[in-house]
Amino acid sequence: MNKIPYKIYLSEEEMPKQWHNIKADMKEVPEPFVNPATGEYCTPEDLAPVFCEDLISQEFNTTDKYIDIPQEIQDFYKMFRPSPLIRAYNLEKALGTPAKIYYKFEGTNTSGSHKLNSAAAQVYYAKKQGLTHLTTETGAGQWGTALAMACAFYDVDLTVYMVKVSAEQKPYRKGVIETYGGKVIPSPSDTTEIGRKILAKNPGTGGSLGCAISEAMEVAAKTENCRYVLGSVLNHVVLHQSIIGMETKIACEKYDIKPDIIIGCAGGGSNLGGLISPFMADKINGKNDIQFIAVEPASCPSLTRGKFALDFGDTGQTTPLMRMYTLGSGFMPSPNHSGGLRFHGMSPIVSKLYHDKYMDAVAVEQTSVFAAASVFAKTEGTLPAPESSHAIRVAIDEALKCKETGEDKTIIFGLTGTGYFDLAAYMSYNEGTMTDSIPTEEDLQRGFDTLPKI
């Protein structure tokens, strides 16, 4: 066995040359998109006006277990990958746990998160198709930054609809996106029909991912040579994020690390889906018995309190329907929640795996998340993103359970990003002014009332 270093970096030669398509391993694959007008399954052709061709092909692919990463994308990945798998020795010591804690750290690039894995791929395919302009939404700002970086690299124009409350909490995110040449519009805005409609109905809204998606899609449909790209939820995004899980699995095999628990935060579900992907395939095929845990905010609890139903991906109800755990496209998470993870639905892949009982889910409150983030920052050095800190919270909780039982479980969690643009939230936590907000049953019902009747 190789001696395990504090931080495991794969060599360039060891880096994965293929993505892992978990759908090819699933006993039942997620249902295809449904056209809300007809109730029929969508065809690839139906999606072509909105999405890039190669991405649509990946979206529908349920048979190829591995998909080659084009050399150009591999070259882009080399700019910021491999990411390290780090043993959290200092956190373990501070907790006094016999558990072994590892984290896969995706935050060493300027976008500050794993989002660049899919941005690099999506912009490459857009450029390949001859597109000159992309639109997207961003919540916490990590996806918008990642996409701006990729668009700068491939010389493609970009317009980013940024959830208004995030734009206000993180003014400098706008600055970094603009430095990479992207245009930022706080959402809801008066630049789209759907934005004007939402503003008329609820002028004081802080916005939501679902609403920003509607605006970005509307502009993409109306602009020549332009498509819409999405940073999470969809199958092809989970596919690109499987690079995280592939690297993690190679590192585990190289050093004979056998995880008992793998934990990821879940907003749209792409980071979690990508991290667990190859491990989950083995579980489905009876080769391991890993416990997978999705961690979501108590303020936006799609897995733990949502319904497994056909729903729109956006607040404007313009997308095809996806079968997923959802709070209803009309659900508006409380603006006091400081992280991303504010999406009403959940990746159909993650939803299906959860529905079929291959994984667990827990919801955590933000003050307990920031408490975990502070402990992590002080012991492990890195200041984590609030989103990632949801996973830290549960990793700590599981490690503390091990302390009680004396078990030396091996825990791996995804540290998806850094919190350098989240200092306003940290300052609110430090000053004791941060509060929690859990939707009431009535809040949830208002969301469920917006589910399509199909």
Which parts of this chain interact with a second copy (CB under 8 A)?
A: 5-7, 9, 11-12, 78-80, 90, 108-110, 112, 149, 152-153, 172, 174-176, 178-181, 374, 377-383, 418, 420-421, 423-424, 426-427, 430
Give the 3-state secondary structure of residue 252: helix
Name the residue with tokens 């931080």: 7
Q: Least distance to a second copy from the beta carbon of 334, Å?
A: 22
d(CA 352, CA 192): 33
Sheet strand arrangement including 133-138:
183-187, 157-163, 133-138, 226-228
Q: Least distance to a second copy from the beta carbon of 421, Å?
A: 7
Residue nearer to a second copy on the CB measure, 213 or 396: 396
Among 211, 160, 222, 220, which Cα is nearest to 188's?
A: 211
Q: Least distance to a second copy from the beta carbon of 108, Å?
A: 5
Residue nearer to a second copy on the CB measure, 178 or 356: 178
Among 114, 109, 105, 108, which Cα is nearest to 87's?
A: 105
Q: Least distance to a second copy from the beta carbon of 78, Å?
A: 4
Residue nearer to a second copy on the CB measure, 21 or 145: 145
d(CA 149, CA 135): 14
Q: Least distance to a second copy from the beta carbon of 388, Å?
A: 13
For residue 320, give the DSSP letter: P
Residue nearer to a second copy on the CB measure, 153 or 358: 153
Q: Least distance to a second copy from the beta carbon of 72, Å?
A: 12
Contact 449, 327 (CB under 8 A): no
Residue nearer to a second copy on the CB measure, 136 or 418: 418
Residue nearer to a second copy on the CB measure, 48 or 79: 79
The identity of residue 53, as a single letter, is E
Structure tokens at 420: 């350098």
Q: Least distance to a second copy from the beta carbon of 178, Å?
A: 5
Among 412, 57, 379, which Cα is nearest to 234's?
A: 57
Q: Least distance to a second copy from the beta carbon of 284, Å?
A: 34
- Please give the backbone phi and psi of residue 347, each rounded to the nearest 5 degrees, phi first: -40, 130
DSSP string, 322-333: EEEEES-TT---
Quick check: bond before 188 cis, omega within 30? yes
Residue nearer to a second copy on the CB measure, 87 or 227: 87
Give the 3-state secondary structure of residue 405: helix
What is the dihedral sign for C-alpha 243, 244, 246, 250?
positive
Q: Least distance to a second copy from the beta carbon of 120, Å?
A: 10
Residue nearer to a second copy on the CB measure, 107 or 348: 107
Quick check: bond before 82 cis, omega within 30? yes
Residue nearer to a second copy on the CB measure, 97 or 109: 109
d(CA 368, CA 370): 5
d(CA 316, CA 195): 9
